[in-house]
Amino acid sequence: MPATLSREDFFSVGVMGLMHAAAMFDPTRGASFKTFAYTAIRGAILDEIRKHDPVPRSRRDRLRQIERATGALQARLDRMPTLEEIAETLGVSSEELDADLLALHTCRTISLDDQKPSADDDGSSMATSLIAHGVPDPGEEVSRNEQVERLAKAIADLPEVDRNVIVLYHYENLFLKEIGEILGLTESRISQILTRATARLRLKMKDRDE
């Protein structure tokens, strides 16, 4: 969902859709008002989402194809597929696939307040190049929260076992052996899962700095 839209925005748009349905409803057509209103409200909300979506619909359709292809390959290969494998499945070049992914990431995260996500970040950003040195960046906390939200969503999208291993290792600071005892798996198997989960997260968090 566009970050610019809140729950209150959706509620307001839904009310407008309901008002439109009340004004346009024709009981002689046979449909119940509930069905007619549902369609009008849903349509109004989808239209509002599309207005705030910076990605053209044609590219958004290709991104859905990428998601489906990635899921199918992941199930068949039992690992996160590479960009080359996804591109081959879709019948496009790696450059075209990378351009689609880059466009998606850029439109979602580019901001004057963006900070580099790497640990050795020197604090440079578009915002810091436009303001005087030594002036606190009011968007630093917002930018950090956005990165945390993106990472949390990426972790939530992982398969359950991968997600559990990531959380236990990075957030509970458990050793691989301890995680194995909790999940009933060997230490070597936990190591394999951790490596696989980390690779999946890197693909999900892929950005234009690569």
Task: Identify the architecture of domain 157-210 in CATH.
Answer: Orthogonal Bundle (1.10)
**Band (144; pLDDT cuts 50, 70, 90):** confident
Q: What are phi and psi of 150, to 5 degrees?
A: -65, -45
Domain boundaries, the chain: 7-51, 157-210
Which run of H or E residues covers position 186? none
CB-neighbour burial class of residue 169 (10 A; exposed 0-12, middle 13-18, buried 19+) = buried
Long-range pairs, 168-177, Cβ under 8 A, ≥24: 169/194
pLDDT digit string, tens, across residues 30-56: 778 888 888 889 888 888 877 766 556
Cα–Cα distances in Å, from 202 out to 1, 15, 46, 82, 126? 22, 40, 30, 11, 24
pLDDT digit string, tens, across residues 168-198: 998 888 899 999 998 899 999 999 998 888 8
Rg (CA), the chain: 22
Long-range pairs, 135-144, Cβ under 8 A, ≥24: 137/113, 138/113, 139/111, 139/112, 139/113, 140/113, 140/115, 142/113, 143/111, 143/113, 143/114, 143/115, 144/115
**CB-based burial, 84-117: b 16+ in 10 Å, e otherwise:** ebbbbbbebeeeebbebbebbeeeebeeebbbee
Predicted TM-score of the model (pTM): 0.34
Q: What percent of the chain has pLDDT over 90?
A: 4
Query: Taking a C-beta distance cutoff of 8 angstroms, is the pair 90, 61 a contact?
Result: no
